[in-house]
Amino acid sequence: MRATRFRPAVAAAAAAVMAISACSGGGGDEDGGQTTVTVDGGQPENPLIPANTNEVFGGDVLDTLFSKLVRYDPETAEPENYVAESIETEDNQTFTITVQEGWAFHDGTEVTAQSFVDAWNWGAYGPNANLNAYWFEQIEGYEEVHPEPEDPEADPPEPEAEKMSGLEVVDDRTFEVTLSEPYAQFPMKLGYTAFAPLPEVFFEDPEAFGREPVGNGPFQFASWTDNQEITVEAYEDFAGSHPAQVDAVTWRMYDDREAAYADLLAGNLDIMTRLTPAAMANEVYKDDLGDRYVEQEAGLMFTLTVTGNEEGYDDARFRQALSAAIDRESIVEEIFEGTQVPSKGWAPSVVIGAQKGACGEYCEYSPERADELLQEALDDGFEPPEKVQIWFNDDADHREWVQAVVNSINQTFEGDLEAVAKPVPTFSEFRAGINEDKYTGLLRTGWQMDYPHLENFLSPLYETGASSNDGDYSNEEFDQLMADARQESDEDAAIEMYREGERLLAEDMPALPIYTARTITGYSEEMTNVEVTPFGVPAFANLEK
């Protein structure tokens, strides 16, 4: 019934103003003159702590509650300084960050350099076991506060330090961040939820804070009824340039998303962030909503990662042949009614640095070329697997498109090669299996961007030993390009290197790009302004009703 959506990076802070209004929806609105916008949501999986929230239900709420050093433009996703007055560096390794004056937490205490440093140290500290701890791994001294065990099964060793040596408070409003190696795009990451500042009250009782967070964003926390709703209210003394435009936002939690759609049509819900497949089929939503919807290509794409080191899959031409055998256009047309976008590269078009057609001919459907590539590999003595296995988790809507890929491959090779779909019941089981290298073949993988840059779709996924390199891909040239680009101060030159890296993937084909997601957000007649960010969520602060 319920599929959890993960949305690492948050754009919501980006959304500066929120304006929605007196909605009719359920119990939140006692005084009639208020404008409350209701949005569909769900029960957060973890306490509302920035360093420990990585899924969309909690993340959306946190993004309205916290403003970060950097804000992503709701339209272009370009990062710009927000709480930061300036972020300066000379060597791309040491960054001097100055916090703007005048920012305060909702409890009245001031936002200082210390608020950031303490929050980051707490987030990175191993024994706190935060889901987002890895966001701090580039900061010098991370290994000391968050040591990794040699053997993944063993308990992690005791940290040698409590604080990262790379963080240093210079004065009330200035602090220095030293990275373990140069990384020019570091400031861009600072817009993610994990980098939010925390008030002193947090450290007194993190657990209580998780139920009633105190932030510095355009909205302040109001109430949370489990499995029912979460409400945030506009913060009147907000210091930022994009204050809320509505009085309150309420997330109503739905188990059954069709129910949310019915509420949307009945005017009982103001905004629904991802329309259901039933509403998207045959573009029903256009009849139902008229022009009350926003379409947005999202920073989310789906790939089939190949276990390229395993026998039977260790020939690049074979992987390219598989890729060329997949008719992406027909799959998108028939399975998704054209609501998704066929992928021709390894990153969606919304990221900074995106290029067209990095995959080249291998992502164009061509049975002849596929046959040719396979033949070449066979002539060189390559032995294909008895059956090409495509593994996927069966608890979300993947079965149909995976089956379509299987059919496309089988039709192309007409018996020379057979593909089969291998379902795994749940995502958690699938994920655990991938970590243990249990599967051989193609793995259904997806990636939701953390921050809107091409780099985010490359280095965490394909660099040697990277955290999400599920196919254990390794290519020295690619690694070198990533490392060089990280040290390149000139942004355009860095992007050029990332692009080259992406094109390199076409030669090795460690993962087959399949499709990129597009979200459709519907809204009620009462809304007067709804903007949707490249992260696929409404720009909450900009909502008007």
Partner 1 sequence: MGRYALRRLLQAVPVVVGTTLLIYWMMWALPGDPFAGRCGERACPQDYIEAMNAQFMLDQPLLVQYSAYMANLVQFDFGVTYNMVPVSTLIAQALPVTLRLALIALAVEAVVGIVAGVIAGLRRNGYFDTLVFVSTLVALSVPIFVIARFAQWGLGVNLGWISPTVSNEATWAELLVPGAVIATTTTAVLARLARTTIAENLRADYVRTAIAKGLPRSRVIGVHVLRNSLIPLITLLGLDLGSLMVGAVVTEGIFNINGLGGLVYNHILRLDSTVVVPVATLFVLIYIFANLVVDLFYGVLDPRIRYE
Chain residues binding partner 1 by CB under 8 A are 1-2, 4, 6-8, 25-27, 43-47, 54-55, 126-127, 129-131, 133-134, 146, 148-149, 152, 155-156, 207, 210, 225-229, 252, 254-256, 258-260, 262-263, 265-266, 268, 395, 425-432, 434-435, 445-448, 460, 467-468
Smallest distance, partner 1 to C-beta of residue 122, A:
14
Between 147 and 182, CB nearer to partner 1 = 147
Query: Strand pairing partners for 522?
Result: 272, 293
Smallest distance, partner 1 to C-beta of residue 425, A:
7
Smallest distance, partner 1 to C-beta of residue 131, A:
5
Smallest distance, partner 1 to C-beta of residue 273, A:
16
Between 49 and 373, CB nearer to partner 1 = 49
User: Are 38 and 25 spatial neighbours (Cβ–Cβ below 8 Å)?
Assistant: yes
Between 90 and 227, CB nearer to partner 1 = 227
Between 130 and 533, CB nearer to partner 1 = 130
Smallest distance, partner 1 to C-beta of residue 53, A:
11
Smallest distance, partner 1 to C-beta of residue 354, A:
19
Between 43 and 408, CB nearer to partner 1 = 43
Q: Reduced to 3 states, what is the DSSP secondary structure of residue 288?
A: helix
Between 88 and 255, CB nearer to partner 1 = 255
- Closest to 311 measured CA to CA, from 393, 421, 388, 375: 388
Between 382 and 427, CB nearer to partner 1 = 427
CA distance 353 to 503: 13
User: Phi/psi at 517 (nearest 5 deg)?
Assistant: -80, 150
Smallest distance, partner 1 to C-beta of residue 449, A:
11
CA trace torsion 5, 10, 16, 18 (10° rounding)? 20
Smallest distance, partner 1 to C-beta of residue 431, A:
5
Encode burial over 213-243: b for 16+ CB neighbours within 10 A, e otherwise: bbbbbbbbbeebeeeebbbbbbbeebbbebb
CA distance 145 to 451: 25
Between 146 and 499, CB nearer to partner 1 = 146
Instruction: For 34-104, list the strands marked E by DSSP.
Output: 36-41, 70-72, 79-81, 84-89, 94-99
Between 293 and 447, CB nearer to partner 1 = 447
In eight-state DSSP terms, residue 5 is P
Smallest distance, partner 1 to C-beta of residue 435, A:
5
Helices 328-336 and 399-413 cross at an angle (nearest 10°) of: 140
User: Are 72 and 78 spatial neighbours (Cβ–Cβ below 8 Å)?
Assistant: yes
- Closest to 49 measured CA to CA, from 261, 273, 199: 199
Q: How far is CA 182 from CA 24, 224, 240, 357, in A?
A: 52, 42, 30, 30
Between 229 and 371, CB nearer to partner 1 = 229
Smallest distance, partner 1 to C-beta of residue 412, A:
27
Smallest distance, partner 1 to C-beta of residue 198, A:
18
Between 133 and 454, CB nearer to partner 1 = 133
226 contact partners, CB below 8 Å, separation of at least 6: 43
User: Are 250 and 38 spatial neighbours (Cβ–Cβ below 8 Å)?
Assistant: yes
Give the helix/strand (H/E) hosting 445. Answer: strand 442-448
142: left (phi over 0), alpha (psi -120 to 50) or beta: alpha
Smallest distance, partner 1 to C-beta of residue 119, A:
18
Between 235 and 430, CB nearer to partner 1 = 430
CA distance 18 to 40: 15
Give DSSP secondary structure letters for 475-508: -HHHHHHHHHHHH--SHHHHHHHHHHHHHHHHHH
